[in-house]
Chain A
Amino acid sequence: MPYYQMRCNLCIPERNKHTVIVDEDKSIIPESNAPTVPGDMTERGCAFAGARGVVGGPIVDVIHMIHAPVGCGYYTWGTRRHLGDGYNWAMPGVLENEANHRRHCYTTAMTEQDIVFGGMEKLKNALLEAFKINPGASAAIIYMTCSTALIGDDIENVAKEVSKIVGKPVFACASPGFCGVSQSKGHHEFNFQFYKWLLKYREEHPEVCLKEEEKTPYDVNLIGDYNIDWDLVTIVPLFEKIGVRVLNVFTGNSRFMNLLKLPDAKLNIVHCQRSATYIAELIRQGFDIPFIRVSLFGIEQTAKALRDTAEWFGDEKMKKRAEEVIEEETEAIRPAIEWYRERLAGKRIAIYVGAPRVWHWPKVMEELGMEVVACMTTFGHKEDYEKIVQRVKPGTLIIDNPNEFEIEEMIETCKPDLFLTGLKEKYLVRKFGVPTLNSHSYEAGPYAGFRGLVNFARDIYQALYAPVWRLAKEEF
């Protein structure tokens, strides 16, 4: 019996093939990327969230136009902390309080009448007005949602029209909430549609490509990092120090016109391998630009990323630089990490995040002396689970797309000391007296890179050692 039977699933056997216990030869993985069981209290989001909230959202200097009734637009402010440094002016001499992509929400706020008669005219006007109101925007991205997809609005046509009028690029992303089985479909849609659109735009506007004389032999793109809580601050300088030039980040703190130069790099370095390998693969096929996969969490994995990069370039000087940087960085954080390792050793961890972090992190937990007892992903695919089972011990519980009830049972049976999870689940599990950590937006990041690891360890320590848990257990 390869699958693990959870008690809470006795009456929904469809869920059984999504729960497994890792076996000795690591041959079993759960079924994944499958339709959600309706009414199972899933934690999944929608394809719109994947396109707008995850992949498109971090682009700083564009108008993110949500073509929808007001709610989908409002949730511009409901996403994770993908920060950026491009600001508009609030008034003469005063910059706005939040970066452009997080300060404002632009939506067509479709009404009943618009739904009946179609929203294309409204969308067109909305974009033209938004460009006038926000002259700092270098482009616009239109996001389609359930309602505007169902009424059949042709957003691509509107994008073309508006682009022609304002002379700035407008990209239309059709990724309504109901498409696919999770937000993963939204990542996929954004990647594919953006790439296709970008090819055409570069062809029509060759001036946006990186000029030959501006290219260097060491140009790379960092693909699939969304600058959660300023992760880029701990990542990008590492690469710069070993001598590569980070041309682009797809899409953390990125600028739209710069993203058009994605195919002008020599190498793509892919971090989030669920939401963005697509575009790296497309660029590989279309431009013969290879990509490497990296993990940028923890000492060993970050070191490996730098070594792999240097290795790919085959440059001896760079290889030497990489070793120096690794040495220097590891030294800088050693005292802090040792301090934490002493206190975290032996703790049992359950991890539930989107997908890749669930296999990026077991190694990190090991480095901090901890043990992973359960792994769950919201939208992992087969490859994600293959990596997860390789990186954890036999006996670990794996759940694909866990729902609320399964999480409760997991806590009861696996008894983790700490649960790395998202915002919705963290308050649930805390009620049971089990500490949690927001692993989507972090508590106080950055968590990536060498120095981010200290923040990560600190937040884990804080979660585990807060006196409240002890007080909660006392007889009263």
Chain B
Amino acid sequence: MINNIINTVKHIPIEGITYKQLKVEKKPLTPEYVPPPPELVPAENRSVCIDPSRTCMPLGAMWATLGVHRAIPFVQGAQGCTTYVRYTFARIFREPTLIANASFHEDAAVFGGRKNLIRGVRNLVCRYQPDLIAIVTTCSSEVIGDDIPSFLADALDVMEEEMGPEVRDLVKFVIVNTPSFAGSHVEGYNRASREFLKTLAKKTGQTTEDIYFIPGMMMPGDIKELKHIFELMDISYHILFDISDTLDCPLVGMPQSIPCYPPGGTRVEEFIRAGDAKAIFALSPDAGSAGAKWLERRYKVPAFVQTMPIGVKNTDNFIKKLAEVSGRGIPERLRWERGILLDAMADTLHYTMMKRVAICGDPDFVAGATRFVCELGMIPTYILIGTKSRTAYQTIKEVCDEYGYEPVIMNGSDQFEWEYALKHDIPDVIVGHSRCVSISKEIQVPLVRFGFPVYDRVGYQREPIVGYRGGERFLARIVNAILDYHYPDDRVHQ
């Protein structure tokens, strides 16, 4: 039934059976290719979603919470709602994640999750002494109609009785409602950004020079690049949901005490003081603008929603706005970095100009990257915005109008539709996440990995794509992919 390697490998060396020896023959399920009925290609004509480029809402809220110091998401739902997300994070970051679960069994589905929440929160507080617990709801608790605020009030009463009144001050609670049927992981992060500020932020009246930033679902490397920029500009900054030191941690050996919290992450105190901020920037319109806008509405903190600063112009716009708002100038060093990016673009223009590129991913990433590929002289052909987004669509439209391109923009469609287009109109490069690897191999086009999720190569979470330096790294990734695939080795050097 399967290729019998036992007969082919007589003596087993100590390397064991390597993947090279393990040749498994692919067996076609149909004699030949059968094209799908054309009317079923567009996702909007179908009930079935095939290969979504988005996942569930709770994931986004858990992601945000993991960027807060000594904070633990408590997922009010079944165990899979936590386990699958932890798998996903483990693959992307190669890091452990602390995420608790209410462990819904049948009784919770019938009677509601009150008991689970009260018991669960109490257990968590007593064993982990977190600074903050984010209660993240799920499809099941939302369908059942769990009244989380009242459950939480009961939990606090129970804990007060057992642990004393100080418990109310020791642990902060944020409730994030994330029924997956109402949106994707991007919306989950967006809601978390709002709920954290809504629950925690205060205004004392003392204005500060502090500027707040909500990065969206950027990687640790991106956030570190932002910090580099802020330090160059001498800005007093606070990054909310700062995963850069919580989901990228050193190997340290056995800790002095357990449980072991990573030292990084945004402090709860920083959320509390957000009402006094001079300004707040959301650097991912679809993942974080809800928080920034809420702070503006509530505490009159000016909010600026920016396209993710990928490439020259997006970064320019961001830096200029930041210089203006902060009153700090643009430091020479940043102009230098900008010059390096331009230099790299000039040096590689023959590799990138007129190359046709297909893009796939979350709205904020795709919107930012589209302008960058246009700046490189590349031609965007098919753009899949994994989660439907008016903002991202508008941004992409504007960029493409400016550069005179007319790509097909699939807003909130699925990868089946996007891949069908790619098979019939093969691009030179794909810029997308790890789930684009199959189409990339099938049509033999290089894949430049970026966005959420990248799990099948190492180091991507540490390498920035934002800012001028990130732009230069991103450019190098794109050009090297093109060189690997499209240039004979003897025609690479000049």
Contacts of A405-450 to chain B: CB distance below 8 A? 405, 408-409, 411-412, 423-428, 430-433, 444, 446
Of the candidate stretches B115-123, B272-280, B307-315, the one touching chain A is B115-123
CA distance A180 to B24 in the complex (A): 37
| Any A CB within 8 A of the CB of B301 | no
How far is the CB of B143 from the nearest CB of chain A, in Å? Answer: 4
How far is the CB of A294 from the nearest CB of chain B, in Å? Answer: 18
Give how many B residues have a beta carbon under 8 Å from the other chain's beta carbons: 114
Judge whether A132 and B36 touch: CB under 8 Å: yes
Known contacts A41-B98, A77-B435, A451-B9, A70 near B180 by CB under 8 Å: yes
Judge whether A233 and B5 touch: CB under 8 Å: yes
Known contacts A42-B103, A432-B254, A133 near B50 by CB under 8 Å: yes
CA distance A454 to B36 in the complex (A): 44
CA distance A83 to B19 in the complex (A): 13
Most A CB contacts (10 A, CB to CB) among B9, B54, B100, B182 go to: B100
A146 contact from B88, B101, B140, B441, Cβ within 8 A: B140
Contacts of B96 in A (CB 8 A): 404, 424-425, 427-428, 431
CA distance A283 to B18 in the complex (A): 37
CA distance A177 to B26 in the complex (A): 33
Judge whether B90 and A458 touch: CB under 8 Å: no
Contacts of A103 in B (CB 8 A): 438
Judge whether B26 and A85 touch: CB under 8 Å: yes
B103 contact from A44, A85, A136, Cβ within 8 A: A44
Known contacts A85-B25, A404-B98, A71 near B56 by CB under 8 Å: yes
| Any A CB within 8 A of the CB of B148 | no
B6 contact from A122, A137, A234, A430, Cβ within 8 A: A234
| Any A CB within 8 A of the CB of B437 | yes
| Any A CB within 8 A of the CB of B208 | no
CA distance A43 to B22 in the complex (A): 32
CA distance A473 to B251 in the complex (A): 10
Judge whether A126 and B48 touch: CB under 8 Å: yes
| Any A CB within 8 A of the CB of B78 | yes
| Any B CB within 8 A of the CB of A349 | no
CA distance A87 to B438 in the complex (A): 12
Contacts of A452 in B (CB 8 A): 17
Known contacts A147-B181, A424-B87, A246 near B116 by CB under 8 Å: no
CA distance A137 to B28 in the complex (A): 11
B251 contact from A75, A115, A129, A472, Cβ within 8 A: A472
CA distance A253 to B1 in the complex (A): 10
CA distance A425 to B97 in the complex (A): 9
| Any B CB within 8 A of the CB of A193 | no
Judge whether A74 and B143 touch: CB under 8 Å: no
Binding site for B on A (CB under 8 A): 8, 11-12, 35-49, 61, 65, 68-75, 77-78, 83, 85-100, 103-112, 114-115, 122-123, 125-127, 129-130, 132-133, 135-138, 145-147, 149-151, 176-183, 230, 232-234, 236-238, 241, 246, 253, 329, 332-333, 335-336, 339-340, 404-405, 408-409, 411-412, 423-428, 430-433, 444, 446, 451-452, 454-455, 457-458, 468, 472-473
Nearest 10 Cβ contacts at the A-B interface: A71-B56, A39-B120, A46-B80, A136-B29, A38-B120, A177-B78, A428-B96, A126-B48, A109-B49, A89-B33
Can you list 8 residue pairs at the A/B interface with Cβ under 8 Å? A71-B139, A72-B56, A75-B88, A85-B2, A85-B26, A88-B28, A108-B49, A431-B260
Known: A45-B84, A46-B80, A145-B139. 20 other contacts (CB 8 A): A39-B101, A44-B83, A49-B84, A70-B49, A70-B56, A92-B32, A104-B50, A104-B51, A133-B50, A147-B181, A180-B105, A183-B80, A236-B1, A246-B1, A423-B87, A423-B90, A424-B87, A430-B251, A458-B14, A468-B251
